[in-house]
Amino acid sequence: MNKQSQFLSLGLIVVLLLSLSPSVQSQQQSMVTDSIETAFLPALSFNSDFGFMAGGLVSRYHYNQTHEPFYSYTQIAAIFSTKGLASAIIEIDKPSVLGSANRLKSAVYVSRFLNDPYYGIQSYQKIDDSFNSDPDFYSYQSFATGIDAELRIPVSQQFEALAIFNLDYLTPWSNSPNQLIMQERPLGVEGGSNLHLGTGFISDNRNHEFRPSKGTYFYLSVEGGLKNVGSSYSNAIIRFKARNYVNIPLFKGVVFAQQLQLKNTYGDVPFWKLAYAGDEMTLRGYPSGRFRDDHSLILNNELRTWLFDIPFLGAEFGGNLFFDVGKSYANGTPFNALTEDLKYSYGLSGTSSFFTPDFILRTDVGFSEEGVGIYFTAGYMF
């Protein structure tokens, strides 16, 4: 299971729409210059990796005409699931932090999971119905907490430098000798922490951050930590993402979106920090962390459209078709072998938006050779 903070804020879909009651406060002069939109969403949900979930989500957008895409954004979420997941997160996104041109994105999270999936490292043999196959063997109990922060420093209109801080702690606990993780005993099975500092860049010319329909986006980060300097291990991680969005001329309102994801890990890397393929952010239709190894290569493809709206609800509804392909692989794999033994998944999504176009709810149904994954989540995948 990915212990990055993003998974804790996802997985909530509103089924009690009538309880959505946004409060909007505005200060008006000759035109609206400042507004706050807050929504509390009690929620029930389902995710193939976590089970049925219940919880709540509070999102607060503070808009100001002098700050893009907003003046500030805060989200607080807490969820509990039938597979023993209990988690909470606070996320803050603040452009123009301390009056500067810099943007700070940060998150604090804590999680306990009684059925955290673990399918081994370099385990590529097919598992029939892997979501449900021998869950006691392919899972472990874990506790995790951490802090993520990313400072984005503008260099030009479309280019930003990054300063990265990441501190996480995970420990498996009370696991039996009959579980795969205790038989393999990968690095990190005794628990440990990672303190990473890093840098990178973002190049972004998309026409919209949350609903892009054209443009490109590039992300590169390099981070690492040293043993006994806030970390239990010495390792480094490189991440790269490239995204492209194109309007299809023959079909009005249809967007073809693509994302290439690369993750490379080096050094003494605990199992939960390794690259992986499988979950709602990589290969939909495979369980979370299904394929773990030193590196991963993922290509996501989506056709997106919005179909209709209901003005009196402030709601829009749409759908996606997607096709994911990728793999994880070990250090030393030849370049010409990267296209061998690829894993594939495909599926469809339903999307909806309420009260503000920046807030999107999404339901993905992904199919793979090992089963069907269902994911209720927030925002586009990319």
Q: Kindly write down the DSSP assignment for every residue of 89-100, as one continuous string.
A: EEEEEESSGGGS
- Please report the pLDDT score of residue 236 as a whole number: 98
Q: The pTM is what?
A: 0.87
Is 60 exceeded by the pLDDT of residue 12? Answer: no
- Please report the pLDDT score of residue 33 as a whole number: 67
Is 70 exceeded by the pLDDT of residue 120? Answer: yes
- Please report the pLDDT score of residue 45 as a whole number: 84
- Please report the pLDDT score of residue 2 as a whole number: 53
- Please report the pLDDT score of residue 230 as a whole number: 92
Both tokens of 286, joined, read 């495979």
Is 50 exceeded by the pLDDT of residue 198? Answer: yes
At 315-368, the pLDDT tens digits run 999 999 999 999 999 999 999 999 999 999 999 999 999 877 888 889 999 999
At 203-222, the pLDDT tens digits run 999 999 999 999 999 999 99
More confident residue, 184 or 96: 184
Distances (CA, A) of 35 to 40, 70, 99, 101, 353: 17, 10, 19, 21, 19
DSSP annotation string for 133-155: S-TTTTEEEEEEEEEEEEEEEES
Both tokens of 287, joined, read 């369980």
Is 60 exceeded by the pLDDT of residue 19? Answer: no
Residue 102 burial by Cβ neighbours in a 10 Å radius (0-12, 13-18, 19+): middle
Summarize the confidence of residues 114-140 as an average pLDDT.
Answer: 93
